[in-house]
Structure 1
Amino acid sequence: MRWIRLLLTLVKAKLKPKANATDTFVISFRVWITDIDVYIMNHAAILTVMETGRLDLMVRSNFFKIASKNKWYFPSQAISVQYYRPLKIFQKAQLHTRISYIDEKWIYVEQKIVRNEKIVATCLVKSTIKKGRETIPTSEIIDLLKIKNVPTKRYDLINTYELESAQMSSRLVDNWKE
């Protein structure tokens, strides 16, 4: 069912007005029966919803069109999610997506799911732009998309995220002990 949600998002995004990549993108969604484990929306389904928000951003900001033309793709290097409240079957919620920081290589996207003005989950995604094994400088996409007000202030959240990511890699990748 994941592909249906992604396909619907793609079609809806193409019908919505274009937007600047630094805008906040909001999409509404409903919890489907296939999204739940016993009673609440499962983590995989929430991650899929968050992926739809990034897809909406890419299509509406014209990145998707430019990326397709240049054979670029937008892999996520790391995703950190915090869950605060459950979503139950058939409940409606909104996903807010925005770019929070861009440096020469990385694009950080913040996302939050909101229901009845309460935060359900938050997410920080670190991504880059690739063509094959080549990393495309973010300045190139900024120029092509004519992005104004590029978020270049590195918040404490990004610093903490990078520190935790390095510690996780050190422990789980470099020093895994059986």
Structure 2
Amino acid sequence: MHMIFRILLTYLRSKKASKLSMFDTGSLPMRATLTDIDFAGHINNGMYFSIFDLGRFDLMFRSGVWDVIRKNKWTPVVQAETITCRKSVKLGAKFTQETRVLGLDEKCIYFEQRIVCDGEIYAQGYIATRMRGRKGAVSNEEIMQAVGLAVPEDRVVPEWVSQWREASALPGARKPAPHTWLGR
């Protein structure tokens, strides 16, 4: 529940922050709070994904893309995500959450996101997202047309990221995905 308030705070702060293009890098200054840490006294892997949500929302708010999403009654959803952690962010530590669009393919918009403390990467994640509308998935072509942007040439999804998303994908929502671990 606390993330709802942080998203609202991020939205309010975005009104005073400098405007960005969706293809700029967003930087969100933060501090590790009591609601971010686990019993080991540091931000855990699950909370990083929630913090990454804030970074993507900040980028959408500051670039004006959120207004287009709401106008079209679309909903951004995560299709796949992965993270690598290398150092712990402890309670009270200041850090920035950095977000950039890595690129697009025929299905997803990919984000690269980082937790940075004192100029060092502490954690890095890759998130494959989609946009959902009333009739299902919204094509990236339709999204780019609606926001009035073209993908810069330097935004090419690395092959390993495409392979990771394909290899980790579950069947589509309209196909069965039976759970058989417990012999049910």
Which TM-score band (shorter chain)? Answer: 0.7 to 0.9
Aligned partner of 1:82 in structure 2 is 84
| Pair 1:132 & 2:134 matched | yes
Looking at structure 2, the residues matched to 23 and 133 of structure 1 have their Cα atoms a distance apart, in angstroms, of 30
Given that 1:75 and 1:128 are in contact with CA atoms closer than 8 Å, whether structure 2 keeps it comes out as yes
Residue 164 of structure 1 deviates from its aligned partner by: 3.4
Please list every run of at least 4 consecutive aligned residues from structure 1 whose deviation after the TM superposition is greater than 6 angstroms. Answer: none
**Structure 1, 32-41 or 86-95: larger mean CA deviation:** 32-41
Q: CA RMSD in A?
A: 2.0
Number of equivalences: 174
Alignment identity in percent?
Answer: 26
Q: Which runs of 5+ in 2 are unaligned?
A: 172-176
Given that 1:104 and 1:138 are in contact with CA atoms closer than 8 Å, whether structure 2 keeps it comes out as yes
Given that 2:87 and 2:123 are in contact with CA atoms closer than 8 Å, whether structure 1 keeps it comes out as yes
Aligned partner of 1:61 in structure 2 is 63
Looking at structure 2, the residues matched to 162 and 45 of structure 1 have their Cα atoms a distance apart, in angstroms, of 21
* Residue among 132, 140, 143 paired with 1:141: 143
Residue 132 of structure 1 deviates from its aligned partner by: 2.2
| Pair 1:14 & 2:15 matched | yes
Residue 91 of structure 1 deviates from its aligned partner by: 0.2
Q: Which amino acid aligns with 1:28?
A: P
Q: Which runs of 5+ in 1 are unaligned?
A: none
Q: Deviations over 1:136-161 (max 9, x none)?
A: 22112212322241655231232331
Given that 1:31 and 1:89 are in contact with CA atoms closer than 8 Å, whether structure 2 keeps it comes out as yes
| Pair 1:51 & 2:53 matched | yes
Residue 106 of structure 1 deviates from its aligned partner by: 1.2
Q: Deviations over 1:41-86 (max 9, x none)?
A: 2333322211100001111111110111111111111111111111
Aligned partner of 1:119 in structure 2 is 121
Looking at structure 2, the residues matched to 108 and 69 of structure 1 have their Cα atoms a distance apart, in angstroms, of 22
Residue 100 of structure 1 deviates from its aligned partner by: 0.7
Q: Given the two structures, how large is their TM-score scaled by the length of structure 1?
A: 0.87
Give the direction of change, closer, same or farther, for the CA distance of 1:137–1:159 in structure 2 (3 Å limit): closer
Given that 1:10 and 1:59 are in contact with CA atoms closer than 8 Å, whether structure 2 keeps it comes out as yes
Q: Given the two structures, how large is their TM-score scaled by the length of structure 2?
A: 0.84
More helix by share: 1
* Residue among 109, 112, 118 paired with 1:110: 112
